[in-house]
Amino acid sequence: MNIGKNALMVLEKRYLTKDENGNNIETVEELFRRVAAAVAGADGLFCPDADTASVEKRFYDLMTNLDFLPNSPTLMNAGRPLGQLSACFVLPVGDSMEEIFEAVKQAALIHKSGGGTGFSFSRLRAAGSTVRSTGGVASGPVSFMRVFNMATEAVKQGGTRRGANMGILRVDHPDIREFITCKTNNADITNFNISVGITEAFMRAVESGTSYPLIDPKTKSVVREESAPEIFRMIVENAWRNGEPGIIFLDRLNRDNIVPGQGEIESTNPCGEQPLLPYESCNLGSINLVNMLKEDENGNYTVDYGKLKETVELAVHFLDNVIEINKYPIEKIEEVTKLTRKIGLGVMGFSDMLLYLGIPYDSQQAVSLGESLMQFITESARAKSAELAGPRGPFPLFGESIYAGKTEPLRNGTVTTIAPTGTISIIAGCSSGIEPIFAYAFVRNVMDNTELPEVNPVLEEILRKRGLYSGELMRKIADQGSLADIQELPEDIRRVFVCSHDISPESHIRMQAAFQKYTDNAVSKTVNFRHDAAVEEVSKTYLLAYRLGCKGVTIYRDGSRDSQVLNIGKVN
């Protein structure tokens, strides 16, 4: 297997099966054998005389060629006693002590198994409301979020993952001001990403400069009015200060709710790419786009659509099998998940692909390619899901879904999601998700402060091919972070090898919107701002995302937190 040094380090540290003394008792090949065998086993459940050995071989090759990788919990747990394979869960939080602490317990079970949880706290009554049974005063959503946060801290995932949560509050909840500022101190509520749930009504009030009502979730009566532009400004300023809160467009999530009769979508998973109904879970997997290129005899690259289609089909087969063999942390989650059978196939290595194709990320050509690639992937994935629905049956709620009577029966309620691929892109050795390259040489701070030095392999390969590579040049690139001002590099290279901070926030959003257009679920994307960006630029970016049909926005201004995952120019 062609596995890099960083990939090996990540796998050895967290993914390979260990004995009770912490020594690895499987090799990387054995890990993929274990996963392929377990996932292929599902074919035998549907059809007793299925040739599971040949399916296992195909899954094994798919992963060891690094064409596709499932989300981390599948790699860690498939074929092992825990057997929990999904990355994404959403749990409901009801407005009573019993329901709140039931959700804390359920989240703890999910975190222990390597999954991440999202919650909406919008149903909790506002701080200061009365509590009928005790005559006391309610402490409100933010104080309960701290309880969830502390529980997450305590679980620490039994040595696999640290525990990740998404906390959402509707913009019309009476405690919205407290929520927007609850992470102003970065050392607070560290196990949560937070997002304000934005409504169309609120956005219209922002655009027309009017006020909007805050609603008591209990009585549904209007508590007071707030100025929409003022609350919007508050969200933007806090995001500018340290990246939180993000925003999600609730009405858009629900416009794409495939089974509206089952209730409203009120939250996403921790990184925002997977909207789910309460108790739903979803398993993700991503195709490495670098491996979907072909090179002609002149050294020019083009997209290999034939290979991409085959890879999508096998990946959909794989992800549907995962739903079947998954050991769910709670019975209710198994029940609800199997009603819609959502899967989230996405991509990684998109930026690396652009480098090989010689297309700058911040160009119309790149945006068009992103859109047409994703259209191709979603259409191919849906066709495969329809094919699986033949022998395996459609997802049980197909008849009441938005697809009923419009498409052939489908096996899966959703097929595509763009995940961050934080760890699996390191394993595949490619750029993460659809993000631009952060820097061409840097230090990556992953998993308990282990620092991984990296020089972009595509840049190295292309500079070597053109006889431009030198150690001195690499050091200069590392220092500056960007290639833009390195005069000794030819213009065409400087134009194509753009990094996150060379790219305007507008271009980041245009790319997110391009992928969103043909993605069933949502797109994980961070819009990077330079340290000296103005608050106004963040505001403009949010409005653009709204206009272009994005489902949410996450921003990060360089240097706005003490500890950040990626650092410009920090190399060994």
Point out the residues that are catalytic: 269, 271, 273
- Beta-carbon neighbour count of residue 567 at 10 Å? 18
282 near ligand ADP, judged by CB under 6 A: no
Using alpha carbons, list the distances in angstroms from residue 64 to 3, 28, 57. 9, 9, 10
Using CB under 6 A as the binding criterion, the count of chain residues that bind ligand ADP stands at 21
For ligand ADP, the nearest residue by Cβ is 116
How far is the C-alpha of 140 from the C-alpha of 167, rounded, in Å? 13
329 near ligand ADP, judged by CB under 6 A: no
- Beta-carbon neighbour count of residue 139 at 10 Å? 17
Question: 163-222: which residues touch ligand ADP (CB under 6 A)?
Answer: 163-164
Q: Reduced to 3 states, what is the DSSP secondary structure of residue 131? A: strand
How far is the C-alpha of 463 from the C-alpha of 469, rounded, in Å? 5
The only residue of 424, 496, 503, 553 in contact with ligand ADP, by rule CB under 6 A: 424
Contact (Cβ atoms closer than 8 angstroms) between residue 445 and residue 451: yes
All residues at 6 or more sequence positions from 429 whose CB lies less than 8 Å from its CB, including other chains: 3, 4, 6, 7, 66, 457
What are the beta bridge partners of residue 166?
Answer: 118, 193
All residues at 6 or more sequence positions from 444 whose CB lies less than 8 Å from its CB, including other chains: 6, 426, 451, 452, 453, 454, 565, 566
Amino acid at 298: N
Residue 230 beta carbon to ligand ADP: minimum distance, rounded to whole angstroms: 31
Residue 233 beta carbon to ligand ADP: minimum distance, rounded to whole angstroms: 28
How far is the C-alpha of 331 from the C-alpha of 309, rounded, in Å? 35
71 near ligand ADP, judged by CB under 6 A: yes
The only residue of 13, 162, 177, 241 in contact with ligand ADP, by rule CB under 6 A: 162
The only residue of 169, 419, 489, 566 in contact with ligand ADP, by rule CB under 6 A: 419
Residue 420 beta carbon to ligand ADP: minimum distance, rounded to whole angstroms: 4
Contact (Cβ atoms closer than 8 angstroms) between residue 452 and residue 556: no
Return the number of the residue (162 or 338) whose C-beta is nearest ligand ADP. 162
Most distant CA pair in the chain: distance in Å? Answer: 80
How far is the C-alpha of 512 from the C-alpha of 528, rounded, in Å? 12
566 near ligand ADP, judged by CB under 6 A: no
106 near ligand ADP, judged by CB under 6 A: no
446 near ligand ADP, judged by CB under 6 A: no
Q: Which stretch binds ligand ADP (CB under 6 A): 161-169, 257-265, 505-513, 553-561?
A: 161-169
Cis bond upstream, residue 409 (ω within 30)? no
Q: Reduced to 3 states, what is the DSSP secondary structure of residue 62? A: helix
Residue 183 has what DSSP assignment?
T
Here's the x/- map for ligand ADP, 256-275, by CB under 6 A: it reads as: -------------xxx-x--
Return the number of the residue (66 or 88) whose C-beta is nearest ligand ADP. 88
Return the number of the residue (62 or 164) whose C-beta is nearest ligand ADP. 164
Q: Which stretch binds ligand ADP (CB under 6 A): 168-176, 415-423, 435-443, 448-456?
A: 415-423
Return the number of the residue (273 or 537) whose C-beta is nearest ligand ADP. 273
Residue 192 beta carbon to ligand ADP: minimum distance, rounded to whole angstroms: 12
Residue 401 beta carbon to ligand ADP: minimum distance, rounded to whole angstroms: 24
The rounded Cα 539 to chain-centroid distance in angstroms is 23
The only residue of 229, 358, 409, 422 in contact with ligand ADP, by rule CB under 6 A: 422
Q: State the residues that interact with ligand ADP by CB under 6 A.
A: 71-72, 87-88, 115-116, 161-164, 269-271, 273, 284, 419-424
